[in-house]
Structures are given as structure tokens and as C-alpha cells.
Amino acid sequence: IASSTRPPVIWLHFQECTGCTESMLRAEHPALDKLILEIISLDYHETLFAGAGHQAEAARKASMAANKGKYVLVVEGAIPMKDGGIYCKVGGHTALDLVKECAADAAAVIAIGSCAAWGGMPSSAPNPTGAVGVDEIIKDKPVVNIPGCPPSPYNFLSTVVHYLTFGKLPELDGKGRPKFAYGRIIHENCERRPHFDAGRFAQEFGDEGHRLGYCLYKLGCKGPETFANCPSILFNDIGSGSWPVGTGHPCIGCSEKGIGFTKPIHSLA
């Protein structure tokens, strides 16, 4: 997929922790250096940029002007709507204005992470800044949502590679998520599922059932209602990493609107 005309990418950061970029930095297929030096042209990214201040903003505007209708816009972080959006500004402009400006001439818009996909952590009750996801603002073109806190970098990279290879976005579900990554609930592919089916549960952290790798449902696992491929793709490199439930922590549904950071733990009875 490497080509002489690398597709330009503008990557914005708003209300977020940069964990999604950190997740991306750990990808190995392709590694970030290959991605940004051979596959795409990363024309604006506040974390990875060598430039700063006016120089960085000028690079963003120059890329957008030179690549109208051709660049991919990636958004990391939620957008605060309350009080005219004053709670997040970059270069003197609100996140609200910036996302509208940058999306206007984008060929595709990708919201990486739960913050950008549906508000995520910044939108936790009482949501003091009125944080929302990108698709509540950009309505005139599809927004691909790659939720997760952070998501697997491969769900993002696979979406980008699909777009570069086929010239179109992958098939999306009703929430704008690529079906290849968010088509199944976690509970379907969890390695602890045989324990669930057999009625073997950890009752509290550190008890014998927990140490034996029993199902974490009674510790609050949201795997039965969360759509994501965490147990099959894992984190920290494909095939050799782990995932929350694999390390003994229940899934908190970080990728799922209305569950992650929102829904109380179910009754442990």
C-alpha cells in the first residue's frame, strides 16, 4: 500500500488523554514509522509534530488547502458544546470550530477512541462541558467510529488500510463502527466463557475462583453487552499481547456508549 503519493492525514486532539495516540505508537504491523513515512503523510499531529505554535497551524492550513477533498481527518478526543465550546481551544479556536473547519473538505472522517466516537470519559456524568462525539457535529458525511479507551491500534490501521486499498470505507454498523472489528460481543470470544457456561465465577478479586481464571461476570464484567474484538485481537501486538479480561480485570465496556464510564456495576448477587 506504500505509494509515491501518500494520502494526507490531519489528526486533531481535543478533550482526551492521548492514550489513543499512545496505543497507535505501539503498533507493529505496520509500525508507526513505516505508517507515517511510507504509507500516509501525517501533515498535522500535535503529539508527533516537530513544529509547534503558528508553524504547526500553518502546516495544517497549507495541507488542507492543497488537498481539498483528498485528506483524511482523524479526531482524537471529545468536543465540548457547552457555553459555545470554550472549554477546549487550540490556537485560539474552539474544538467545535476546528472540527467543522477541518471536516468540511475531508475525504473521510475517522473518530478514534471513545472520546471522539461518543464523548467517552469527558462525557461522564454530569458532563460539565457538554462533551460529545464527532458524529453529533459532522452530519454531512460518514464518520467512522473506532471506539475503545483506547481502541486496538489495528482497528484504526485496518480501517485506514482498507480505505487506501479499496478507495472506500469498510462496512459500518448502525453506530458507525467497522463491522470487522465491532460485529460481535466480547462475551462470544472470551476465553473465560466456558467458566461462565459452567457457572464458575470469581466472587471477589483475589479469591480462589479469580486465581483459577473463572468468569468475571460477578465482578462487573460488561463483556455480554459490549461489541468489540478485544479478546481476539488483543493489545500490545497481535497474538502475543493480552486484554483486560485476560489479565483478570472485568471488561468495563469502555468502547460502548451508555455502558463504559456510565453504567453501574450489575448486582453481584
Cis peptide leading into 128, omega within 30 of 0? no
- Nearer of residues 106 and 230 to ligand F3S, judged by Cβ: 230
Q: Which helix (H) or strand (E) holds 102?
A: helix 95-104
Residues 18 and 132: beta-carbon distance below 8 Å: no
Candidate residues 42, 79, 117, 228; the one interacting with ligand F3S per rule CB under 6 A: 228
Give CB contacts under 8 A, 24+ apart, made by 52-58.
Answer: 53/91, 56/91, 57/91
Question: In the sheet where 72-76 sits, what is the strand order?
Answer: 41-45, 8-13, 72-76, 108-112, 143-146
| Binds 20: which of ligand SF4, ligand F3S, none (CB < 5-8 Å by kind) | ligand SF4
The CA distances from residue 35 to 26, 28, 41, in Å, are 12, 10, 8
| Binds 103: which of ligand SF4, ligand F3S, none (CB < 5-8 Å by kind) | none
What would the grid cell of residue 37 be?
513515512
- Nearer of residues 148 and 176 to ligand F3S, judged by Cβ: 148
User: Is residue 109 part of the contact set for ligand F3S (CB under 6 A)?
Assistant: no
Residues 230 and 244: beta-carbon distance below 8 Å: yes
In this chain, which stretch among 60-68, 98-106, 153-161, 245-253 interacts with ligand F3S, using CB under 6 A?
Answer: 245-253
* Chain residues in the site for ligand SF4 (CB under 6 A): 16-17, 19-20, 76-77, 113-115, 120-121, 149-150, 186-187, 190, 192-193, 196, 215-217, 221, 223-224, 245, 251
Q: At its nearest, how many Å lie between ligand F3S and the CB of residue 234?
A: 10
Encoded one letter per residue, x for contact with ligand F3S by CB under 6 A and - for no contact, window 175-204 reads -----------x------------------
- Nearer of residues 18 and 41 to ligand SF4, judged by Cβ: 18
Beta strands 108-112 and 143-146 are: parallel
The span from the first CA to the last CA of the chain, in angstroms, equals 52
Q: Is 20 annotated as a binding residue?
A: yes
Beta strands 143-146 and 8-13 are: unpaired
Q: Is 230 annotated as a binding residue?
A: yes
Give the residue from 154, 81, 84 showing the smallest Cα distance to 112: 154
User: Is residue 153 part of the contact set for ligand F3S (CB under 6 A)?
Assistant: no
| Binds 120: which of ligand F3S, ligand SF4, none (CB < 5-8 Å by kind) | ligand SF4
| Binds 216: which of ligand F3S, ligand SF4, none (CB < 5-8 Å by kind) | ligand SF4
CA dist 171 and 159 (Å) reads 10
| Binds 16: which of ligand F3S, ligand SF4, none (CB < 5-8 Å by kind) | ligand SF4
Residue numbers at the binding site for ligand F3S (CB under 6 A) = 148, 186, 226, 228, 230, 243-245, 251-255
Provide the annotated binding site for [3Fe-4S] cluster.
230, 251, 254
